[in-house]
Structure 1
Amino acid sequence: MTRQHAHRHARQHGLSLVETTVTLGLAAVVAGLAAPNLNTVLELRRLDGAATQLAGDLQFARGEALARNRPVRLSLDAAQACYLVHTGAAADCRCAGDGSATCSGGAQAIRSVAWGAGERVGLQASSGSLLFDPRHGTATPSATLRVVAADGRAIHHVVNVMGRLRSCSPLAAVPGYRAC
């Protein structure tokens, strides 16, 4: 066998430039199709995380009232996507611009939570403040607190007069929450 003939039958190792380009193109198309689904999943995780945090802090405020044997409030500042757990009157504590609490009149801030712009969730409520009674654990007034994602999906926390919490999502738009 001649040298030329052996060279023609030599096996090629690796990928050609055309094969690599086609593979990368297909990967880009698949990634482009998956990106909207990934964004939806991330939005739902942010919404669920913020709603879970708020639900925990509602229970925390109720428990603090019972443990301290004095009234404890959860006050909301929807404009700043912030809420506070504190003692004193509703007007005694406010969310500062940096998300910390500013209290006056002998009120004491227990917890302050502010959701930054990166969280991409908003806060709405039928009442600006809930008062938890230290003797019975009841809440005044009953209220619905809504955590709303940028895409409009929401999780509602309904606090009844007995201080109990029920969570739901309008039209069951968020998996894992029943419809309200």
Structure 2
Amino acid sequence: MKQMILASASPRRRELLQGLGVPFEVMSSDIEEKINTELSAPEIAKELAYQKAKDVSNKLDGDYIVIGADTIVEYNRILGKPKDADEAYQMLKLLSGKIHRVITGFAVIDCRTKKEIVDFEVTNVYFNHLSDEEINRYIETKEPMDKAGAYGIQGKASLFVSKIEGDYFNVVGLPIFKLGVVLRNHFDINLL
């Protein structure tokens, strides 16, 4: 099997791939994540994922498969990672009692053949109504500070989610099912 490279510093993406027992290395991208507000949310996620994968693939020479990903949360606007506790509070207040979309773009690049596939997945997430006390207690855990939309479904924020429609792993940060299909159908890599 070709050597897989995860072009992401995300510990959650690393854990998801490790959970599959897939051998891979991590090589973070150096790109500055700039959001082009003229693009749709899926296009933004795909573009950022592609930039990350391309940046890393340009540094490699050999038989590598590079996977880049970017996750964004959308409710009337794009919600990235909060800059501080106040912004985390505003994001969580906005999502409280609402349905929002989590979009993960991903890019797979074969460094030898130069084949590139870019795709995305969307999951609808239903948040319960959150009291100010719940929001503040959650922010005190520091958990929301490095996550798009100021929450991690796999952590304490699981208490906020009444249901989802779509891929749970997409909300965590990597749509495992769709990635597996792309790797199998376009790169002849089976993750089993």
TM bucket (normalised to shorter chain) is: under 0.3
Question: TM-score, normalising length from structure 2?
Answer: 0.25
**The structure with more radius of gyration:** 1
Question: TM-score, normalising length from structure 1?
Answer: 0.26
